[in-house]
Amino acid sequence: MDNLPEFHIVVPARYASQRFPQKLMADLGGKPVLQWVYELSLKAGAKSVTVATDHDVIYQAALDFGASVVMTRDDHENGTERLAEVADKMGWKADEIIVNVQGDEPFLPVALIHSCVAALHRDKEAEMATVACVIDDVTDFFNPNVVKVVCDEMQRALYFSRAPMPWDRDGFINIDREGGKLPADFPALRHIGLYVYRASLLAKYADLPMSPLERWEKLEQLRFLHQGIKVQVALADGLPTHGVDTPEDLEKLRKKLP
């Protein structure tokens, strides 16, 4: 994408995972999952790409495949806290842009990274950006595991929720929740968990308390909205390939390899 600003990519890499322990070290076509993520991050043209971990196994593996890696504290509650520590250690300036690329997303489209960076760059008042795509499947719309987002006219997030939103007061009276399609012009958007931050926001993240809505919805991004932080939303053409949450996910990705 032309005229992109400079940006950094940080790949938070945890060793432990409840559903799939050591998944970032799992073999995918002869390379660990984490190496795929690092290599796609390099292709994005970032000013720097850094793996951030708190475990010796991942630290050594990242060094072995040539990554720049930073050892972080082991008490972080989420990847955002790990990003904030890296930004501080690196001494990045307040206006620098930092992309959080999850270590279990080996086939994340580079174009999606560029789109999200560009969206934040265009919106000078926003402090972070994320991605969404249109929902047309009714089952997805009513699925609480599919996070929805509604936006204002500037394409900034108004709210994120696991609940179906917006609500068609008249049209949903007798809707079949197990199949079918939503109307073509219905503004239902599915949140895609890619985040881009200004370093200034990461610097103050640790001081932002968990919001009441975040506590109920279990959605970290509500912490930012609760504090009045503007979140720009880039629109993707469709849902990217699913990451590695389970051994079954990994097997599906193996079948996609040439």
Q: Over the chain (258 residues), what is each successive 10-residue block's mean pLDDT?
A: 87 85 93 96 96 95 96 88 94 96 94 97 97 94 95 98 94 81 90 96 92 94 96 95 91 90
User: Is there a contact between 89 and 8 (Cβ–Cβ < 8 Å)?
Assistant: no
d(CA 253, CA 258): 10
The helix or strand, by DSSP H or E, that contains position 159, with its residue range, turns out to be strand 157-161
On the CB side of 215, CA atoms within 13 Å amount to 4
User: Is there a contact between 223 and 210 (Cβ–Cβ < 8 Å)?
Assistant: yes
d(CA 30, CA 180): 40
User: Is there a contact between 107 and 256 (Cβ–Cβ < 8 Å)?
Assistant: yes
Whole-number pLDDT of residue 14? 87
Which stretches within 8-108 are classed as H helix? 33-43, 56-64, 79-90
Whole-number pLDDT of residue 1? 54
Q: Which two tokens stand for residue 147?
A: 């996070």
CA distances from 117 to 33, 39, 121, 223, 225 (A): 24, 18, 6, 21, 19
Whole-number pLDDT of residue 206? 84
